[in-house]
Amino acid sequence: MDPLTHGVIGGLVALGAGNAVSLSEPAFIASVLGAMAPDLDIVYHLKGQLSYLENHRGKSHGPMGLILWSSLVTCFLALFFDDISWQTWVWALIGGISHTLMDAFNSYGIHFTKPGRSKKISFNLVQVFDPIILLLGVLGLVYSSPFQARLALLAIAGWMVVRYCCRKIGENKIRTWLSRVKGQQPDKIIVMPAMWGLWKWDFVAEFTSQYISGSWWMNTDKKVILKEIDKVERDIKEKVLETEAGKFFTLLTPVYAITRERWQDREAFVLYDLRYLVGDRYLHRATVILNEQGQPLTQVIQPFSEQNCINL
């Protein structure tokens, strides 16, 4: 979620519990700041794109990270208020918990503990920015009424249920359509919110020998196949995943494919993050070239663009 929506949700939770919407109310401000603080892990960018991709929504969104952010927010507010208490820290923590929970609802997901020690939690229900959630949140804060805030939180929960039902309908429709188009049932299908477009969903379908990515517009029931990726052999897949690039990629995304391509006039094995399809290309990829013994000669992470090559 974007920082503004996180802050609004944190404010809603505090207001719903009876705290005033006021710059002189430490509990309200603590909840708002606590709900925005975990995204300060953007500082990992100072160590490079790979550091950010590896650590974003990792420890900063888990138990220890939330405890740290809550403490920092409380110390910050102590500079401006004389009546700071343990309750202020609790409200900062509650705001942080709301942040982690909301982030789990989109496709990027969260590592509840350190990356590599846990799988990413992702419910694939909403986009990184959802205008409906933001609108409901702002309306809940407008009248500074606890009842209004609780009603807004209930409406947001209802919107999540609606999104879940839409996703399940999409899974059934896409599965039936692909079975007819490809002449076989997909082994697995994942439907996720598209990067843009409130009514657009992206899907990844796994078949015996390939992955298929496409889009579904729920308002028109339009479905399109955008990419078809042939799988590599199991032994090749294992060798690629044993490389540094392979290990990094499996931490980055739980939804990936490995295929064989030509890259710089060499046979290469390319890993694609199947979550984010921009036009007909994937947002993140990695390229690995192996020698005859299956050892890596070249390992390149290519975040955001194929031309953005970071050697390992």
Per-residue pLDDT, 83: 82
Per-residue pLDDT, 265: 84
| Per-position DSSP letters for 239-303, written without gaps between them | HHHTSHHHHHHHHH-SSEEEEEEEETTEEEEEEEETT-EETTEESEEEEEEE-TTS-EEEEEEEE
CA gap 8, 21 in Å, rounded: 11
Secondary structure of residue 210 in the 3-state scheme: strand
Q: For the segment 7-42, what is each residue's pLDDT rounded down to a tens digit?
A: 999 999 999 999 999 999 999 999 999 999 998 888
CA contacts within 13 A on the Cβ side of 105: 23
Per-residue pLDDT, 116: 56
Question: Cβ(10)–Cβ(35) under 8 Å?
Answer: yes
Per-residue pLDDT, 29: 97
Give the CA distances from residue 16 to residues 115, 146, 149, 196, 258, in Å, rounded to whole numbers and listed in that order. 34, 4, 5, 31, 47
Per-residue pLDDT, 112: 66
Q: Residue 279 region, left (φ>0) first, then alpha (ψ -120 to 50), else beta? A: left
Q: For the segment 54-99, what is each residue's pLDDT rounded down to a tens digit?
A: 777 777 888 888 999 999 999 999 999 988 889 999 999 999 999 9
> Could you say which residues of the chain have pLDDT below 50?
none
CA gap 62, 65 in Å, rounded: 5
